[in-house]
Structure 1
Amino acid sequence: MPELKVSIDQNEQCIPYEGGDISRSLKDILDAEGITLPSDCGGVGKCGLCLVHIEAGECTPLSASEKTTLSGDELNRGCRLACQAKPLGDMSLSILKADNPAAWSELEADGVTGNASASNKLGLAIDLGTTQIRATLWNLDSKVRIDGITSLNPQAKFGADVLTRLAAAKASKLDADQLSLLASSAVGEAARILVSRHGLVTTAIRSISVVANTAMLALLAGKHYENLLEIEQWQKPVDCVPESIYAWQQAWGVATDAQINLVQPLAGFVGSDLLAGVLSTNLTGSEDAALLVDFGTNSEVALWDGQSLWVTSVPGGPAFEGSGLSCGVPMMEGAIYKISGHGADDSLELYVIGGAQAKGVCGSGLVDAIACLLSIKALNPIGRLAEPYAKAGFPLDETSSIRIRNHDIDLFQRAKGATGAAIVYLLEQAGLKQAALKRVCVTGAFGSGLDCRNASQIGLIPDVDSEIIELYSDSALAGCEVLLVSAGGQQRLSSLREKARLINMSLAPEFDMLFVDNLFLKPLPKSGSSTTSMLE
């Protein structure tokens, strides 16, 4: 049986595989072994992220996609796209950028934590994000958080964004089942890790609440995910209630009478994660105008005008979460989360999570990088790098191994353009200007690491006084915890649903114009444009 000898960060692994089957790509083989390469194109060789270096051995000839996607330098160095190359025998290769689900890491607690005894009832709160999963264990008797952990969503092997995963699920029932299993297994693993760290047992877990965007809920429940690929369904309620929770109860080892609550989305691409964020930030707590932007692969926006909660969503893409970028990593240890430095001759000062060697740039670091490059005129407001950085990219670190490239900036601009268009449009529908906002809550991908001044300068968030901007790293999880332990949580959630006015941006004739205008790296317009209201 032939073998693949795989090198990742100086660690080697030998993987035997069935020879003679040239239908399986290198990525297929690696995925089967749990070695996940980043991907943002569904395996058609267009994103260029699953890059590997062939050290020895033979594989199928270059595909047409590889010839157009890979640079001349990459081809000369023996690089291939794992989704296109198929091994023809024994091979040795090195992975240039792995995106494997990391071991579960600590989730910082915002408040007091407690403990539990064997007699206590336990609860589990889950924020099932497209890129990351966050889980906290609670003592339901004392209503105190015990512990929290986070990890990457293992569904990333099917693509970095929700549309790619939905398309995979619709095309194959086997893939749909696998996507559901990956998510549910991660929840079960989180439960086992959390209780074991405190000498507890999973059978003490009596209640589980899960919030997520609509796509993640539908994929987990294994139903109606195909509807989310149809525009006309985006404003309709989506039933994500699982047919049965018995299999999950058994697989997770929780109490046989445990309640498992998949908090239902508002509609199409407005999920329960946004509602949970509105809940935890108390966005509707006064008559003052307040805006909440949940940045992610599917960015969701909520605007409170004192009476109505205007909500919408746009495809932000994975750039906000550090995925899909040539230099991107999630906001975890090794990620550059903050960059400072002004002046063409000054080196940039990099701040790395955990203080370790930098592995790449997460979303907040990318915002700072773009703002810094604009200030030293290495980047223009259109989003193009100046010479001599146009081809090779701008080096961030001393070794020049981490570079910001035009492709990375383009991905960010597209995500920013869509989100900016949604913000401007909601303000116009509510008859408000930026100056009317008394609160701007930023949640999701950037966490608490976002530099608000830089974000305002490039048009990511409204250009308002920084004193009214609030940064939240886990607002969706915090809202999920409210629903888990608070007696009045469900009633408050129902009230939010009644106040919500859903806007389907795909039906807004002004969206294309607003999107293009917000592609530019400049502050959001303070007065907006002349658009007309269109709710349906």
Structure 2
Amino acid sequence: MKPLSFSLTLQLPLPSPDDKRADVERLRETSGIENLYVPLELMCALPAALRKKNFSIKPVFGITGPCTRLLEIDTEQVFGIAIDIGTTNIVASLFDLKSIKKISEKHMTNPQTVYGDDILSRMHFAMSRGVEELQTAVIGGLNSIIASLADDAKIKTQGIFAVTVASNTAMTHLLLGLDVSNIPIEPYIPVVHSPVFLKAGELDLAVNPGATVYTFPNAGSYVGGDIISGILSLGIHKAEAPTVLIDVGTNAEIVVGMKDWLFVGAGAAGPALEGGVFSAGMRAQPGAIYMIEIDSVTHGVRYKTIEDAQPAGICGSGVIDLVAELFEKGIIDSMGRFRDTAGVVRTENGLSFIVVRTERATIEVSEREINNFLRSKAAMFTSLHVLLKSLGLGFRDIDRFYIAGALGTGVRVRKAIGIGMLPDIPVEKYIPANNSSLSGAELLLTNGELHREVEKIRSMITYREMNTDTEFMKEFPDALFLPHLNPDILTNG
């Protein structure tokens, strides 16, 4: 197992009258890398470097698909960065590729959010103003987080020789400066499925300019590299029994599969869990309310915030808790409408429920916001149900149920089941997958040969477009109810 970029300690045989091999051939044969490619700039530098070191060198090589590329003739440092570019957040981790050890991890808000919170807004911006501004913004963000990781580890960015990037299809296009105008319109065609191997210098990334950059491929406009990376990290493509992954980001991408086959469907569910539906919604960061309980008599609210900070808003798990508690305590009915009861007030937004009222802030949820949330939860559940039904499967046939993205961050599964967001199956089948996209990027960074497995995964995927699916449209209205117009469906599927 070799990482995406790796070093070797080599003592090349000295040239002699009996050994007149060229320097490049000498390096190729001593390294044992038959498919070695030496770029011209390093070919020019090789003779002097070899003779200065008496033919004893520590070169760095990068796996780039069909060939292995010489990246540096002689160096001590070999580090790599794995990156998950989300629509909202960027997360990156730094690895020592000699010891295959993770050094640190950092996250930041995606700088592109100034051009729109959702990916559709950014694509429209790119379509009207060009992609360059958005590309510059995200690369600036990546360089910032790379520099921060390097500074903390006290290493030079020139010693970073490999970068893996997992992101959705549109985000990958924006990173590469590709035209996104055909992604959001039928028939939803990206520029490329497999950009895969690039050089860091092509993207102006603040690492060694010759570093290998691997971008995870997509399987369509709405099945991005982040999903393929998640499948890789969880091993769904090798599972012996049907397995589900729900990754809630900008959309809810749903993977159903096992060895030999993978089906993916997508529905718009993410904004409800990332601050896009509730005015008080926010990302999972300090001050975000992540757990809520409502007293059954007084309707007083107890809550917990991340890092016990002053409440600033509600993150994804808190949104699910809130709607579940409002329904369980009879404050809203099965259609999400408020009843005339304690805690319900009339504001400029209509009927609302006060979650928190302090001197600093009032956090409330309106009936309109609840209805918008119900549309998101209905889209997610219906996508899952329709996809499984098309495969002749029910909820009970699923062996493992991975939950990732905004839904997987601290969610109380029983609360999500109670509002019909997740099927009513044994809770032990639900497994938090956390950031499966980053995990897949880390796997490939530390085992470069996995790029072949990634291509296999991409070829296994069959995509079902939910936005135009007649069965989805037929079942969607029933899922708008709490928990569902036909509650038996939650158990039986």
Do they superpose with TM above 0.5? yes
2:353 corresponds to which of 394, 418, 429:
394
CA gap of 1:526–1:145, structure 2 versus 1, over 3 A, is farther
Partner of 2:51: none
Classify 1:146/1:243 alpha carbon distance in 2 versus 1 (closer, same or farther; 3 Å).
closer
In the alignment, does 2:114 pair up with 1:157?
yes
SS at match of 1:423: helix
Aligned 8 A contact 1:383 1:410 in 2: yes
Long gaps (5+) in structure 1 = 1-117, 532-536
1:209-261 alpha-carbon deviations (Å, 9 max, x no partner): 11111111111112131111212125x77447399756555x43311210111
User: Structure 2: which amino acid aligns with 1:172?
Assistant: R
More helix by share: 2
SS in 1 for 2:356: coil
Structure 2: distance between partners of 1:155 and 1:136:
20
| Counterpart-to-counterpart distance in 2, 1:306 and 1:125 | 26
One-letter amino acid of the structure 1 residue matched with residue 136 of structure 2: L
Residue deviations 1:136-195 (CA, integer Å, cap 9, x gap): 11111111111001111121122221111111111122xx21111111111111100001
Q: 1:162·1:298 contact (CA, 8 Å) conserved in 2?
A: no
Q: Which runs of 4+ in 1 moved over 6 A?
A: none
1:184 corresponds to: 139
- 1:376 has 2:335 as partner: no
Distance (Å, rounded) in 2 between the aligned partners of 1:528 and 1:491: 38
CA distance, structure 1, for counterparts of residue 117 and residue 206 of structure 2:
30
Q: TM-score of the superposition, structure 2-length normalised?
A: 0.78
Deviation at 1:317, TM superposition (A): 4.5
Residue identity in the other structure for 2:254: V
Task: Give percent identity, aligned residues only.
Answer: 29
For 1:322 and 1:294, the matched residues in 2 are separated by 16
Counterpart of 2:81 (choices 103, 124, 149) is 124
The Cα shift of 1:528 comes to 8.4
**Secondary structure in 1 matching 2:127:** helix
Matches within 5 A, 1:298-337: 298-304=251-257, 307-337=260-290
C-alpha change, 1:240 and 1:280, in structure 2 (3 Å) is closer
Contact 1:275 1:496 in 2 (8 A): yes
Contact 2:216 2:228 survives alignment (8 Å): no
Once residues 243 and 277 of structure 1 are traced to their aligned partners in structure 2, the CA distance between those partners, rounded to angstroms, is: 19
Once the 2 structures are TM-superposed, how far is the Cα of residue 305 of structure 1 from its aligned partner?
Answer: 5.1
Question: Which range moves more in the overlay, 470-479 or 506-515?
Answer: 506-515
Q: Where do 1:64-463 residues align within 5 Å?
A: 119-173=76-130, 176-233=131-188, 238-239=192-193, 241=195, 245=199, 247=201, 251-304=204-257, 307-387=260-340, 388-389=344-345, 391-399=350-358, 401-463=362-424
SS at match of 2:144: helix
Count of residues in Structure 1 that have an aligned counterpart in Structure 2: 409
Change beyond 3 A, Cα 1:261–1:157:
same
Matched, 1:490 2:451: yes
Structure-2 change in CA distance of 1:237 and 1:254 (3 Å): closer
The answer to whether the 8 Å contact 2:289/2:315 transfers is: yes
Q: Describe the SS at the equivalent of 2:187.
A: helix
Structure 1 pair 243–123 and aligned structure 2 pair: CA distance change class (3 A): closer
> Within 2, Cα distance between the matches of 1:124 and 1:490?
16
- Counterpart of 2:308 in structure 1: which amino acid? G
Amino acid at match of 2:229: A
Supply the distance in 2 between the matched residues of 1:451 and 1:229 (Cα, whole angstroms): 33
Quote the offset at 1:335 in angstroms: 0.6
Alpha-carbon deviation of 1:282?
1.8
Q: Which moved more, 1:275-284 or 1:144-153?
A: 275-284
Structure-1-length-normalised TM-score: 0.72
Tell me the distance in 2 between the aligned counterparts of 1:357 and 1:382: 32
Report the 3-state secondary structure (helix = DSSP H, G, I; strand = E; otherwise coil) of the residue aligned with 2:183. Answer: helix
Q: Secondary structure at the match of 1:300?
A: strand
* Alignment partners' CA distance in 2, 1:461 and 1:469: 10
Contact 2:178 2:191 in 1 (8 A): no
> Which of 1 and 2 has greater Rg?
2
What is the one-letter code of the residue matched to 1:427? L
Asked if the contact 2:199/2:209 (under 8 Å) is kept, the reply is no
Distance change >3 Å, CA 487–CA 245, structure 1 → 2:
closer
Task: Tell me if structure 1 keeps the 8 A contact 2:230–2:439.
Answer: yes
| Pair 1:501-2:465 in alignment | no
Name the residue aligned to 1:93.
none
Q: Report the Cα distance in structure 2 between the residues aligned to 1:159 and 1:267, rounded to whole angstroms.
A: 22
Task: Say which SS state the counterpart of residue 227 (structure 1) adopts.
Answer: coil
Contact 1:433 1:527 in 2 (8 A): no
Higher alpha-carbon deviation: 316-325 or 517-526: 517-526
Secondary structure of 2:238's counterpart equals coil
Structure 1 vs Structure 2 CA RMSD: 2.4
Contact 2:413 2:427 in 1 (8 A): yes
1:323-354 deviations in whole A, cap 9, x for unaligned?
A: 34210110111111111234031522211111
Query: C-alpha separation between the residues in 2 aligned to 1:459 and 1:237?
Result: 37
Instruction: Provide the residue aligned with 2:28 in structure 1.
Output: none
Residues 1:355 and 1:508: Cα distance change in structure 2 (over 3 Å): same
Q: Check conservation: 1:309, 1:500, Cα contact below 8 A.
A: yes
Structure 1 residues 363 and 437, CA, compared in 2 at 3 Å: closer, same or farther? Answer: same
Report the CA distance between 1:398 and its aligned residue. 4.3
Q: Give yes or no for contact 1:291–1:441 (8 Å, CA) kept in 2.
A: yes
SS in 2 for 1:510: helix
DSSP-derived class of the 2:362 partner: coil
Amino acid at match of 1:258: A
Q: Give 1:284 deviation, angstroms.
A: 3.2
One-letter amino acid of the structure 2 residue matched with residue 146 of structure 1:
I
Q: CA 1:346 to 1:393, structure 2 compared with 1: closer, same or farther past 3 Å?
A: closer
Code of the residue aligned with 1:394 in structure 2: it is F
**Alpha-carbon spacing, 1:393–1:240, altered in 2? closer, same or farther (3 Å):** farther
